[in-house]
């Protein structure tokens, strides 16, 4: 997969982020912001692992070297492999949403939307991922939009308005934007569309 290099770098960064706030999980009442960062990092780590695996025709060799030094990452990857084999996961967004809700439950957070809606929101980050890949490759904006819209044809998941808005964010700056931040912004705007952000009970 041509974009595997970026995914590997993102996975390494997210592994660090997820583990750096892991001590919050041991507290009876973890700090809500630290807990949110932990769950956000875990969800995007799951998204990148699943995207790398599924977009490479289930090539485990592209995933395992990147999580070799992380028990959390290895466990997540093995869980993904098993669930994909059982037909439970068809898209990276599903795995990310499951991971987010599992973490939120453990850390006593409310996500503020359904797992199904969160899966849709994570799925929509495909738009940012693919457009950003086109920009890095030097494709003109018009060609990138045409290619992405022809590849992502489910308009209930990938409306043209989303593709156009994301293309604006990707191609307007002089330099390509930070993809991890862009995907996070896209996912959480979608998740928060009907409700507030993840919060502690009663918060």
Structure tokens at 39: 């769950």
Structure tokens at 96: 């990310």
Structure tokens at 46: 């799951």
Question: Mean pLDDT of all residues in the chain?
Answer: 84
Residue 197 pLDDT: 39
With beta carbons less than 8 A apart as the criterion, state whether 149 and 189 touch. no
Domain extent listing, the chain: 4-112, 124-190
pLDDT at 14 over 90: no
Residue 194 pLDDT: 56
Q: Which residue has the higher pLDDT, 195 or 91?
A: 91
Handedness of CA 31, 9, 150, 170 (dihedral sign): positive
Residue 70 pLDDT: 86
pLDDT tens-digit readout, 147-194:
999 999 999 999 999 999 999 999 999 999 999 999 999 999 999 885
pLDDT tens-digit readout, 103-145:
999 998 999 899 999 999 999 999 999 999 999 999 999 999 9
Residue 33 pLDDT: 87
Quickly state the pLDDT bin for 199 (edges 50, 70, 90): very low
Report helix, strand or coil for 174: coil
DSSP code at position 70: -
Give the pLDDT mean for 44-52.
93
- pTM for the model stands at 0.81
Q: How far apart are CA 159 and CA 7, in angstroms?
A: 24
pLDDT at 7 over 70: no
Residue 198 pLDDT: 40
Residue 15 pLDDT: 52
| Burial class for 102, CB neighbours closer than 10 Å (0-12, 13-18, 19+) | middle
């Amino acid at each position: 997969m041509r974009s595997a290099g970026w995914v590997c770098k993102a996975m390494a960064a997210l592994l660090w982020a997820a583990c750096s706030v892991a001590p919050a999980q041991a507290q009876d009442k973890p700090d809500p912001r630290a807990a949110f960062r932990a769950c956000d990092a875990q969800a995007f780590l799951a998204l990148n692992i699943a995207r790398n695996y599924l977009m490479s025709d289930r090539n485990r060799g592209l995933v395992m070297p990147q999580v070799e030094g992380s028990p959390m990452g290895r466990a997540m990857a093995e869980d993904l492999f098993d669930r994909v084999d059982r037909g439970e996961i068809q898209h990276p967004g599903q795995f990310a949403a499951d991971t987010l809700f599992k973490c939120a439950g453990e850390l006593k957070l409310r996500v503020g939307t359904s797992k199904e809606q969160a899966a849709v929101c994570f799925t929509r980050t495909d738009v940012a991922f693919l457009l950003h890949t086109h920009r890095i490759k030097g494709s003109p904006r018009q060609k990138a939009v045409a290619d992405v819209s022809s590849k992502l044809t489910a308009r209930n998941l990938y409306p043209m308005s989303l593709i156009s808005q994301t293309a604006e964010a990707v191609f307007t700056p002089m330099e390509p934007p930070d993809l991890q931040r862009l995907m996070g912004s896209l996912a959480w705007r979608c998740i928060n569309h009907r409700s507030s952000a993840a919060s502690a009970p009663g918060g």
